[in-house]
């Protein structure tokens, strides 16, 4: 015959769960903020102080394991376009009360020899382009499109937001991880950093990732326009991307919007992006 749990043990269990719930509710209330430009509400309780050391270490490790492009002209082009967009982003951040965040950025742009069609920007402004994406970019405006998109992910803190989601899923381990800095000290927690830029396995996470992608498309478009590039090319980049071929999953199972959805959204948003960028640049010159 099984022994019934004592009222004392039950009370302790309830108290423990209530304490964890209280911590989660407090963090959610404290960490609710607004995404720049889009105005979307988000939950983010991963600070730059927690994220950036991991980001810079991961970036250094990546460069040590990959070959930089020997194409001096194309490398210089990546760095020049990155510099122009990052300066525009820095002006935007400082003009909109994000001075401390702007000060945390350590912009760096590199081109690596890799046939993968990819590019990314880690938190803190560490950017990598793969040579495999250059035919899709095709020209400077195309590079600026991709650069703006990836920088937007970092500036809008999509990585931190996804990591915050992971923390919430961890539940009881949340407070301990945040308090002890386990993310940077425990190799197992390093995976949470990588997952913040990876692919979710649940439909909810997949949908949320599509929200991030659409947001990065729109804000990235504004950033490239602020830097003086032609936004029409953003549409053509995704037209070229759609012609790559290969079996693609249905949109509801994909982390990215369908190509045609993306192209239609960019076409519709381009006039608004031009107005926003023109207005900001005019104010910045005063």
- Report if residue 47 sits inside a domain: yes
Q: Which of the two residues, 13 and 43, has the higher pLDDT score?
A: 43
What is d(CA 212, CA 225) in angstroms, rounded to the nearest whole number? 20
- Report if residue 163 sits inside a domain: yes
Q: Is the pLDDT of residue 25 over 60?
A: no
- Report if residue 6 sits inside a domain: no
Q: Which of the two residues, 178 and 204, has the higher pLDDT score?
A: 204
List residues bridging with 112 in a β-sheet. Answer: 68, 130
Closest CA relative to residue 109, chosen from 69, 49, 54: 69
List residues bridging with 121 in a β-sheet. Answer: 127
What is d(CA 94, CA 149) in angstroms, rounded to the nearest whole number? 20
- Report if residue 191 sits inside a domain: yes
- Report if residue 96 sits inside a domain: yes
Q: Is the pLDDT of residue 183 over 90?
A: no
- Report if residue 12 sits inside a domain: no
* pTM exceeds cut of 0.85: no
Q: Is the pLDDT of residue 282 over 60?
A: yes
Q: Which of the two residues, 34 and 188, has the higher pLDDT score?
A: 34
Q: Is the pLDDT of residue 38 over 80?
A: yes
User: Is the distance from CB of 37 to CB of 222 less than 8 angstroms?
Assistant: yes
- Report if residue 143 sits inside a domain: yes
Contacts of 22 (CB under 8 A, 6+ apart): none
The tokens for 240 are 């070229």
Looking at the 3D structure of the chain, how many domains does it have?
1
Closest CA relative to residue 138, chosen from 214, 234, 245, 220: 234
Closest CA relative to residue 102, chosen from 79, 124, 84, 85: 124
Domain region containing 139: 31-285
Report how far apart, in Å, the C-alpha atoms of 239 and of each of 94, 118, 132, 222, 257 are.
34, 16, 17, 19, 13
What is d(CA 151, CA 220) in angstroms, rounded to the nearest whole number? 7
- Report if residue 1 sits inside a domain: no
Q: Is the pLDDT of residue 203 over 90?
A: no
């Amino acid at each position: 015959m099984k022994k019934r749990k004592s009222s004392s043990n039950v009370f302790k269990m309830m108290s423990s769960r209530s304490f964890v719930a209280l911590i989660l509710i407090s963090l959610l209330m404290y960490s609710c903020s607004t995404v720049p430009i889009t105005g979307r509400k988000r939950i983010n309780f991963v600070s730059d102080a927690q994220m950036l050391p991991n980001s810079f270490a991961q970036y250094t490790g990546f460069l040590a394991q990959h070959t930089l492009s020997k194409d001096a002209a194309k490398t210089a082009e990546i760095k020049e376009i990155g510099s122009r967009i990052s300066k525009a982003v820095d002006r935007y951040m400082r003009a909109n009360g994000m001075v401390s965040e702007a000060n945390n950025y350590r912009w760096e742009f590199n081109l690596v020899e890799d046939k993968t069609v990819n590019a990314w920007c880690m938190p803190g402004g560490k950017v990598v382009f793969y040579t495999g994406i250059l035919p899709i970019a095709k020209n400077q405006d195309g590079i600026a499109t991709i650069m703006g998109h990836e920088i937007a992910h970092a500036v809008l803190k999509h990585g931190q937001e996804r990591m915050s989601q992971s923390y919430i899923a961890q539940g009881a381990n949340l407070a301990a991880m945040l308090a002890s800095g386990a993310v940077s000290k425990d190799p197992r927690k390093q995976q949470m950093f990588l997952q913040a830029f990876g692919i979710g396995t649940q439909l909810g996470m997949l949908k949320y990732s599509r929200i991030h992608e659409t947001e990065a498309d729109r804000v990235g478009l504004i950033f490239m326009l602020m830097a003086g590039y032609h936004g029409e090319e953003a549409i053509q980049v995704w037209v070229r991307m759609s012609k790559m071929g290969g079996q693609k999953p249905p949109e509801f199972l994909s982390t990215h919007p369908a190509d045609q959805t993306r192209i239609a959204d960019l076409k519709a948003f381009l006039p608004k992006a031009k107005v926003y960028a023109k207005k900001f640049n005019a104010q910045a010159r005063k």
